[in-house]
Structure 1
Amino acid sequence: MGAQSLAVAYGALALCLALAKAANPGFVVRITQAGLDYAHQQGIAILEKELARLKLPDISGDSRLRHVGKVRYEISSLELQSFNLPYSRISLSPNVGLHISISNAFAEVDGDWRVKLLFIRDHGSFNLNVENVYIKIDLKLGSDTSGKPTVDTSSCSTRISKVRVHFLGKFGWLYNLFYNAVESRFRNILERKVCETVASSVHNDLQPYLRSLPVTARIDAMAGIDYSLVAPPTATAQSLDVELKGEFFSMVHRSAVPFTPLPLALPSDHDHMVYFGASSFFFNTASFAYHAAGALVFEITDSMIPEAVDFHLNTATFSAFVPQLEKMYPDMLMKIRLSTPSAPSLNIRPGGLSLQPVVDVQAYAILPNSSLAPLFLLSLTGNVSAFIDVRSGHIVGNLSVGRLRLFLKHSDVGTFQVRQLQSIMNIFASTILLPHLNGRLEQGFPLPLPDRIQLSNILVRFHQNFLLLGADVHYQPKERT
């Protein structure tokens, strides 16, 4: 390969990498300092329990003293009675991750001792108090190839300022002969063990919990949501931002979405523990996915007409508006098929959420042999507004329809006044179609939440091209059986 070709290849690679890096998320999760503080409380409680279960090794050795001789000592059956972490805080390290500092921690250890000096032998128990323990932990946040978040302990240091030992036995002067050696070795062991426990807890507890964040959330047989991370979590001075793909996809036939998300800049709100930014891209991929899966097709038959509605879906009813039906298809039941030529596009603005779908309305007569005879094809448009809320960790919605407009696209039964069908179409929309759609929207779409997280104090706010959801969180621990 020549120098020029090589330069072109490197240039193309650099462009691809730049474009990949520049890809905007469709969904953003922001964890504020209040949210981190709450998560920190839960994590410290777990770490405290892990530290209290520390297994400490036996300590033995010789201490040679001038004019006295060699003192042989053994410290065994070391058992932590408690390990308390009363003061700690979590802070953001911009572009790095999280920093945790623990101060004035203290622990209590019981154990047995045995000593031998010339012809003197003694043994007993002891109580050891560890005070002024300082622990510093740095956590590095990232993402793996599947788009799941990762966390690792990038550094850990422990410093113990004070150790007090109380020996129980007959020869008080003897204990001081090996106290310093025991105190020094115990301090070194505990400092090392604390950081080993921190790393183990992050790997065995925190990492698996973060991986419970759903990368793919199945909604139903038709569609799912891709919540994979498009970049490692970003720590700023005020919050931790997690950028997700935020894209619905068809379970029937997954295909590339023909549009891209716009930049999504969340406002600097910090009153809630967590914020979710759902872009118009996020909602429009839902429309695209359900359309691609063939789910935006709805058929209305006479059996679906509510009893309170005083007409039937048949040619006798429609002949009042389309006179030719009485001669061509007398006293026959009808079927109405609603479909969207293209996926409806949703708009999000500070005033709310709306869409203007275009719906094809194909009317059929059901012949005696059950085959269908096409009658006419209408185009229906209208303003649809949406109400959005969060319930049980799901985005739920409710649609309402304004004035509908009808246009005749094709007729197999001659010309007629389309405007006269307006009232019937309004009835179909309000009594059949909307209840069906709202029943599905009432089930909602899951938010990207790890296990056992409940949301409260919900905020819903509309911005240009994205929906902002704010909430406080509550972690529900597993019930022990």
Structure 2
Amino acid sequence: MGAQSLAVACRALILFLTLTGATNPGFVVRITQAGLDYAHQQGIAVLEKELAQLKLPDFSGDFRIKVLGKVRYEFSRLDLRNFHLPYSRISLVPNVGLQVSISNAFADVDGNWRVKIHFIRDHGSFDVRVENIYVNINLKLGNDASGKPTIDTPYCSTRISNIRVRFSGRLGWLYNLFHNAIESKFRKILEGKVCDIVVKSVHSKLQPYVQTLPVTARIDAIAGVDYSLVAPPTATAQSLDVALKGEFFSLAHRSAVPFPPLALALPPDHDRMVYFGASSYFFNTAGFAYHAAGALVFEITDSMIPKTIDFHLNTTTFSAFVPQLEKMYPNTPMKLRLSASSAPFLNIGPGGLSLKPVVDIQAYAILPNSSLAPLFLLSLTGNVSAVINVKSGHIVGSLNVGRMKLSLKHSDVGTFQVRTLQSIMNIYASSILLPRLNERLDEGFPLPLPDRIQLSNTLVRFHQNFLLLGADVRYQPRV
């Protein structure tokens, strides 16, 4: 294949991937069986309350008994006193979603009855013990056009194997003659109503809750992060995986990221309820967004130097390294303008996180009329390592600067030995720049968590091209 044909084929492949939406996630959330079990406990408690408020309709009918003839009956004011779900479990169904199975549930119902046989009328009360209720619910997981998760109930079945009705009243014995028909009525009513409540609860409670997952989160006045789902959640035999876009963007102007996300495969860890896989793409889009927004610029003036440092940012101090300064701009205050020449690129490996930023340092003299006179332009490169942690549902971090190297890119004050500036630049970086960066990084940025979820027992592990965060979760209901 010639070079021209190869280029055409590559463009066609890129176009195909764009049209089909084929893309790797920048961020993956994995919910383990332990996490699903915890969510299931919370959901079953809600469902139990919903079922306890179930309203049962009045019903009536008639039948014939030998000798007595036609008997007309009515059941009214049916009151469901309780509904208990003592045994239930949630299961992963690969390529389908989730299944909730409820067994040995029981309920108690009471109410009033009325009977008419020819000219004989009687009434009384009754109570029903409903036992061995079995419910199977399939939960289908998906995502809508905005990237929010969705949940539906394509299948629900209820089976009741044991119903006992007890009557009080003068003619209560009469019901024993047709108790099978009455119990069948109760069974049919309850089996239909239970699934109605389940479907309603999923749509009115569970669906709105899962949609509290933030698909976009504002970080600050400059950038946000996109956590929209790029595909429906995937159920495997061990976990539920949710693929998110995981991309930072500029709030002022969102532009296409010039590099693609790599495939992200989480290890088979299941000690925690939930895991977050943050790829190098995720972090590097942050650098791209802030750089594109012009936010990676930092200025240092004399007022910013800690009082513990016994020199000032002026030409008198720098004349020890650049002798020409004192002659050209005697005892003149200075300003350093630091800017990233390109978006910083972070590397993640088993040993941790590191980056090698390239920073331009433009030095100015601040003239009496407040105008700036350019002095020299330095290029600073160095090794920076990062420490990552989780705090209050946010990824937080701090930077450590290793060895730095300076080179002269341009000078308006003649030549000088750049290496003599190394020590003073180290002081500026460690005492002024680094603390301010770490203060911002300590604020962190939010993890994709639904409403009222708190993390505990967190762990941080590094893998090739991605960071793995693990945690247990706790749901905090509103007071």
TM over 0.5: yes
Question: What pairs up with 1:329-340 in 2 under 5 angstroms?
Answer: 329-340=329-340
Question: What pairs up with 1:58-97 in 2 under 5 angstroms?
Answer: 58-97=58-97
Cα pair 2:152 2:203 within 8 Å, conserved: yes
User: What is residue 101 of structure 1 aligned with on the other side?
Assistant: 101
CA distance in structure 2 between the partners assigned to 1:362 and 1:18 by the alignment: 41
What is the TM-score with the length of structure 2 in the denominator? 0.96
User: What is residue 128 of structure 1 aligned with on the other side?
Assistant: 128
Aligned pair 1:16/2:13, yes or no? no
User: What is residue 368 of structure 2 aligned with on the other side?
Assistant: 368
CA distance in structure 2 between the partners assigned to 1:387 and 1:58 by the alignment: 66
User: What is residue 280 of structure 2 aligned with on the other side?
Assistant: 280
CA distance in structure 2 between the partners assigned to 1:17 and 1:379 by the alignment: 39
Shift of 1:416: 0.5
Cα pair 1:406 1:418 within 8 Å, conserved: yes
Aligned to 2:60, the other structure's residue is in SS state strand
Structure 1: state its 5+ residue gaps.
1-11
Aligned pair 1:404/2:404, yes or no? yes
Aligned to 1:272, the other structure's residue is in SS state coil
User: What is residue 4 of structure 1 aligned with on the other side?
Assistant: none
Question: What pairs up with 1:149-160 in 2 under 5 angstroms?
Answer: 149-160=149-160
CA distance in structure 2 between the partners assigned to 1:21 and 1:218 by the alignment: 25
**Deviation readout 1:54-81 (Å, 9 max, x if unpaired):** 0100011111222211111110111111
User: What is residue 35 of structure 2 aligned with on the other side?
Assistant: 35
User: What is residue 193 of structure 1 aligned with on the other side?
Assistant: 193
What is the TM-score with the length of structure 1 in the denominator? 0.96
Identify the range of structure 1 (13-22 vs 244-253) with the bigger mean alpha-carbon deviation. Answer: 13-22
Aligned to 1:47, the other structure's residue is in SS state helix
User: What is residue 343 of structure 1 aligned with on the other side?
Assistant: 343
User: What is residue 55 of structure 1 aligned with on the other side?
Assistant: 55
Shift of 1:178: 4.1
User: What is residue 459 of structure 2 aligned with on the other side?
Assistant: 459
Shift of 1:226: 0.2
CA distance in structure 1 between the partners assigned to 2:18 and 2:161 by the alignment: 50
CA distance in structure 1 between the partners assigned to 2:221 and 2:63 by the alignment: 74
Instruction: Go from structure 1 to structure 2 and tell me whether the alpha carbon gap of 1:354 and 1:14 turns closer, same or farther (over 3 Å shift).
Output: closer
Cα pair 1:298 1:337 within 8 Å, conserved: yes
User: What is residue 424 of structure 2 aligned with on the other side?
Assistant: 424
Aligned to 2:402, the other structure's residue is in SS state strand
Aligned to 1:29, the other structure's residue is in SS state strand
Shift of 1:179: 2.4
The alignment of Structure 1 onto Structure 2 pairs a total of residues equal to 469
Aligned to 2:56, the other structure's residue is in SS state coil
**Deviation readout 1:321-376 (Å, 9 max, x if unpaired):** 11111111111100000000100000000000000000000000000100000000
**Deviation readout 1:91-120 (Å, 9 max, x if unpaired):** 011011001111000000111111111222
CA distance in structure 2 between the partners assigned to 1:173 and 1:356 by the alignment: 89
Shift of 1:121: 1.3
Cα pair 2:17 2:23 within 8 Å, conserved: no
Cα pair 1:394 1:446 within 8 Å, conserved: yes
User: What is residue 184 of structure 2 aligned with on the other side?
Assistant: 184
CA distance in structure 2 between the partners assigned to 1:62 and 1:13 by the alignment: 72
Instruction: Go from structure 1 to structure 2 and tell me whether the alpha carbon gap of 1:14 and 1:360 turns closer, same or farther (over 3 Å shift).
Output: closer
Q: Read off the aligned partner of 1:53 and give its amino acid letter.
A: Q
Aligned to 1:232, the other structure's residue is in SS state coil
Aligned to 2:213, the other structure's residue is in SS state coil
**Deviation readout 1:195-234 (Å, 9 max, x if unpaired):** 0000000000000000000000001001000000000000
Structure 2: state its 5+ residue gaps.
1-11
CA distance in structure 2 between the partners assigned to 1:285 and 1:446 by the alignment: 15
CA distance in structure 2 between the partners assigned to 1:18 and 1:126 by the alignment: 66
Aligned to 1:249, the other structure's residue is in SS state strand
Shift of 1:171: 2.3
Aligned to 1:267, the other structure's residue is in SS state coil
Q: Read off the aligned partner of 1:436 and give its amino acid letter.
A: R
Please, what is the CA RMSD of the aligned residues?
1.4
User: What is residue 214 of structure 1 aligned with on the other side?
Assistant: 214
Aligned to 2:176, the other structure's residue is in SS state helix
User: What is residue 8 of structure 2 aligned with on the other side?
Assistant: none
**Deviation readout 1:291-329 (Å, 9 max, x if unpaired):** 111111000000000000010000111111111111111
Cα pair 1:78 1:109 within 8 Å, conserved: yes
Aligned to 1:22, the other structure's residue is in SS state coil
Cα pair 1:73 1:178 within 8 Å, conserved: no
Percent sequence identity is 78
CA distance in structure 2 between the partners assigned to 1:278 and 1:177 by the alignment: 68
User: What is residue 382 of structure 2 aligned with on the other side?
Assistant: 382
CA distance in structure 2 between the partners assigned to 1:210 and 1:145 by the alignment: 15
CA distance in structure 1 between the partners assigned to 2:473 and 2:300 by the alignment: 43
User: What is residue 5 of structure 1 aligned with on the other side?
Assistant: none
Cα pair 1:63 1:177 within 8 Å, conserved: no
Give the ranges of 4+ consecutive aligned residues of structure 1 lying more than 6 Å apart after TM superposition: 12-15
CA distance in structure 2 between the partners assigned to 1:126 and 1:171 by the alignment: 12
CA distance in structure 1 between the partners assigned to 2:193 and 2:128 by the alignment: 16
Cα pair 2:299 2:337 within 8 Å, conserved: yes
